[in-house]
Structure 1
């Protein structure tokens, strides 16, 4: 059953531009009103620009769906959530929602700063249509989850941003709204709060609640959401299964960069001790292909200048997903080197990485414990899928795709 239906929704803002310098002082505003009264002589110096925050957006959300919403800043994600929360009206199109909605769109949204934490819990519950007895039944759980027992009767204007978000999330997740709308709720707060929040979101989803979750933390989106919407410049570009959409999103924003080289130490990244000369990913393409797939063996080659007379050095290679997780870290053996150019190579076998987008970072280390220089995301590359005749519904899970020896047989046939 669809609980949210969005049809041809667009939202337009009109931005005024005036030539020359201006200000918003009372004197300037009075002067502008007088000019408008006598014919607006500066009208010819004013221009207006239409900005479409959303354009022709269509989708449906089923009950119990956990929907991630991803895209660059300015893509229209927060505007969409405000439309769904009925904070703003769309310029055109329609939104149909079945059920009560609890929203947490920004720090302090929905709070009255002069009211205490206790009073704001009841206020927020009332805003989404809950009775006082319904709120009272969840009150202790909200306070305990937010961890604000000592400040319950303190005006929330004195709360830190972290306390604001903890209380806001606790209210949204414990009050009995059928739909939760969350915008970057994990951007503020420590690791323990983020862990608790994700666990509570899963608990709410398991009970049948529908959740919309905007976040730049793609790891959290992948871990929690079963479907994802990808927005770009106000338009819904893709929608579907989360891993598929995030892979598509990352492939669009990443730059395929298998080689980087610097000709002289002066222009190369590094410092007075070491500087990087060359890093390169060299695929051993299979069957005359021109792209890397899960079967492709690769060599990672590196060169760097050592500017120290004598030092025990090794290079550590970090292979990461584009969402930031370290897939593995492998290092060369530490050896003594004098001044000069040091070269090396690392083999990455085929049938090891799953399809997806990856980066390689390097760290040059002294005496196995002292990092001298780190080059983040030096190499960016993509691995394509290859199923070899195996029928797979959706993306193969995980970052690795190894082919280990695997035996299976019948010990004793049944009669």
Structure 2
């Protein structure tokens, strides 16, 4: 097998740099009409025929010989069995990662609060976990037990009453690591269904699959399209694009390390994006040489090659200040600050899903076991979105209690504003509670 790279080289000093960067970053995840219609048909079938439709679609799309919905349900005992089927080293790694993820997310928990004003009015916020969350997990060989931990553990830390996992098992292929991760993370129920039909089942419920309040987890274009369509019926985490990494380096890190960091995202799929930004042109040359040297050693060399050639780039900037400006412009999913003093630059980072500080902090550590969540905003959405967390599985209700005096005082203000909006019933409702001079 022959692989070679022709990674793009950009220079921020060029007049048309902004245009080239925009072109490099452009990504359309919009479904075509055929995919969209197929997903709508699947959702409609699941809503109308429930379990029967799930069995039928699982037979057709996954090649699973299921006769009834009971053939697609895994109980807690089956998850515990998976723990005995993986190696001791694998179990220890899962448990250590789960513990670190749990400890990190415990710090994100929000508590209810109240305060009392001088007149006795009480205002506050009540924080309540969701009743039930649905976790979509890709199945077969492209399975990610780490994603099970990252999606299920924050839900459990938040206090979600029930976590329901759906995972396809194409041609009956069960990934024991995924089931073991589900066991360790505390998943309550597992259904071996996937695709748009699984999303529809979680959103609307069937005779066997319970309706959830929010659906999280990655999937293919059919899953992403289905999540778009059921949003509003349920909450969703995000519509994720391809994985991304942006490395900002001062030129002093081992170029082999940087090349492998770029590969770590490029190997996900051909549309993944790996970009290096540095003010050191000679260093960019050395990294390019490392890429060519190391690529033939990679198991997923062909995927990496297509990703690097199609969406990768080495970007030269004037100085580190401009490197940070470019990083904020890109708003990457993963940002590595591979520099001598990352803490000095951190205050200037405004847009990034996760920030990996220093030369020794590879993005891969964050994917598996550092602790913070690896479900991150992609395609520039870090400008307004955050990593998945406990807060995604909690909702907030406002608390308002007015004392007699407080209702009277606020009633004057509400009355003026309501009448200004020609909402007379609003005004009179507030006015009824305004105290008269006699206090009645």
Q: TM-score scaled by structure 1?
A: 0.23
- Which of 1 and 2 has greater Rg? 1
More contact order relative to length (CA 8 Å, sep ≥ 6): 2
Q: TM-score scaled by structure 2?
A: 0.22
More strand by share: 1
